[in-house]
Amino acid sequence: MSQQAAARVEPFERDPTATVDGLMRRARAAMDAFRDSDQARVDEVVTAIAWSLYKPEHAEALARMAVEDTGIGNAPDKVVKNQRKTFGTLRDLMRVKSVGVIEEQPELGLVKYAKPVGVVGAVTPSTNPAATPVNKAMMALKGRNAIVIAPSPAGLATTARTVGLMRSELEKTGAPADLVQVLPAPVDKPLTNALMAACDLVVVTGSQNNVRNAYRSGTPAIGVGAGNVPVIIDSSANLDDAAVKIRKSKCFDNATSCSSENSVIIVDEVYDDAVAALERAGGYLAGEAEKQAIRDTLWVNGKLNRKVIAKDPDVFAAECGLGGRARASKFFMVEETGVGRDHPFSDEKLALVLAVYRARTFDDAVDTVRAIMEFKGKGHSVGIHTAELAHARRLAEELDTARVLVNMAHTFGNGGGFDSGLNFTLSMGCGTWQGNSISENLNYRHFLNITHLAVPIPEDRPTEEALFGAYWEKYGR
């Protein structure tokens, strides 16, 4: 029985540890068979994984299946995501070495050799049940590792189908299919926790509960943080360009991305013009009564309402009781002044709703961004639309964030873009600001162990005077 079929069979009784042990044995056997592959063979196998999703009929079928299974996002954008992220990641991976000697520093007498980290346990979210498993599998196999996917229960059917396609493509190349596996149904916390405890590296994208469980598993773990992106529209910005980019980014896959704009902070000097530009781009500015209706619909008992998150704009507007012009809009804006628990619009919304803040000066805009991140999303990312690069540099210097994007559609630049130097990924580390072990985009290097060969070099020992002289002169010996 294929893994895809097995995922649809619910066993009467199951021992999570025994189930995972079986997966691990097959994964390690596959790794052993793959271990001696050279770089060309590894790259061929990674390309096979990429093609399993990039292939147009697969990208389209899995996009439709994801929306049907999870009720999240929209199929056309998921097709774009499935192909764009896969193509971009393959571009990045084909340009780097991951087998044998990957770096030499003769002046230091160092040679670096890449080695596998082992079996990777990859926890993936319902927002991307096809793209994220393939993205992580490409990176894992680039390092000659095996991977076992632990999908969100809501996305299990889509992920199982995705894994089935990856395995078929591996078999086509003669590579072991068990390099990529998926947990069998029903996927639950005991089974996912058993995988976390048994594998060699856990990589988690998704809920912060899963991230915390990974850190507690006793296995080395890489987790990512929650997004809640604030973006500044500066007084020098090209307002129509900024508005179109914000609309494209905010609306992509119905705002499911952690990199989607959640708040826009507009400097007072251009506030009215910027709001007008956002309206021209397809935004609808809600009045006070409409704002309250949106709030009452989007949050139920303090939690986001699954009936409206990541839904098409006409569905969202209808659920909120908004009128005809709102229903014809692309996204919705609510004016906000506060930040924190009493102001939920300052939080991540996973919906086509954008909180709009007026800042008296650029200094005030920076303060608002800082307050929003302290409430939610610290370490993740910030955006700015400006002609003053000094303002962008200030954000990078002063704010506790891993990424500052300048004049970009945030969703399309933050996780890698063809006009962005950030590498393609679906997992953004947020540093210790959000309890993560990385503050960069997850990439192939995180799936490698490195052996350092060190040979003698001419002695590099400075004098005491060279190291302590300035200190002695200032403070004495």
At 95, which CATH number?
Answer: 3.40.605.10
- Terminal CA-to-CA distance of the chain, rounded, Å? 76
Domain enclosing residue 143, as ranges: 3-224+442-452
Q: Let me know whether 309 and 384 are in one domain.
A: yes
Q: Let me know whether 217 and 243 are in one domain.
A: no
462 part of a folded domain: no
Q: Which residues contact 136 (CB under 8 A, 6 or more apart)?
A: 120, 122, 124, 147, 149, 203, 205, 426, 427, 442
List Cα–Cα distances, 31 to 11, 48, 159, 181, 368, in angstroms. Answer: 28, 17, 22, 12, 49
Give the separation between CA 317 and CA 313, rounded to whole angstroms.
6
The single residue of 199, 258, 320, 430 carrying the catalytic annotation is 258
Task: Give the other-Cβ count within 10 Å of 428's Cβ.
Answer: 27
Number of folded domains that form the chain: 2
What's the pLDDT score for residue 314?
96
Which tokens in the block code for residue 381?
């990312």
Tell me the CATH number at 290.
3.40.309.10
Question: What is the SS3 assignment for 130?
Answer: coil
Q: Let me know whether 247 and 169 are in one domain.
A: no
Which tokens in the block code for residue 66?
């994801």
Q: Let me know whether 233 and 291 are in one domain.
A: yes
399 part of a folded domain: yes
How do the pLDDT tens digits run along the chain, 477 residues long? 445 444 444 444 789 999 999 999 999 999 999 999 999 999 999 999 999 999 999 999 999 999 999 999 999 999 999 999 999 999 999 999 999 999 999 999 999 999 999 999 999 999 999 999 999 999 999 999 999 999 999 999 999 999 999 999 999 999 999 999 999 999 999 999 999 999 999 999 988 889 999 999 999 999 999 999 999 999 999 999 999 999 999 999 999 999 999 999 999 999 999 999 999 999 999 999 999 999 999 999 999 999 999 999 999 999 999 988 999 999 999 999 999 999 999 999 999 999 999 999 999 999 999 999 999 999 999 999 999 999 999 999 999 999 999 999 999 999 999 999 999 999 999 999 999 999 999 999 999 999 999 999 999 999 999 999 999 999 999
461 part of a folded domain: no
Q: Let me know whether 263 and 359 are in one domain.
A: yes
Q: What residue type is assigned to position 193 of the chain?
A: N
Q: Let me know whether 260 and 334 are in one domain.
A: yes
Is 430 catalytic? The answer is no
375 part of a folded domain: yes
Q: Let me know whether 125 and 241 are in one domain.
A: no
> Beta 382-385 vs 283-285: how paired, if at all?
unpaired
Q: Let me know whether 210 and 82 are in one domain.
A: yes
Q: Which residues contact 56 (CB under 8 A, 6 or more apart)?
A: 83
423 part of a folded domain: no
Which tokens in the block code for residue 21?
């042990």
382 part of a folded domain: yes
Q: Let me know whether 101 and 200 are in one domain.
A: yes
> Beta 448-454 vs 299-300: how paired, if at all?
unpaired
Task: Determine if the peptide bond prior to 186 is cis (ω within 30°).
Answer: yes
Q: Let me know whether 238 and 208 are in one domain.
A: no
DSSP code string of 58-119: HHHHHHHHHHHHH--S-HHHHHHHHHHHHHHHHHHHHTS--SEEEEEEGGGTEEEEEEE--E
Give the separation between CA 138 and CA 86, rounded to whole angstroms.
9
420 part of a folded domain: no
131 part of a folded domain: yes
144: left (phi over 0), alpha (psi -120 to 50) or beta: left
Using a 10 angstrom Cβ sphere, with 0-12 exposed, 13-18 middle and 19 or more buried, the burial of residue 228 is: buried
Q: Let me know whether 185 and 89 are in one domain.
A: yes
The four Cα atoms 49, 54, 424, 220 give a dihedral, to 10 degrees, of -30
Q: Let me know whether 87 and 213 are in one domain.
A: yes
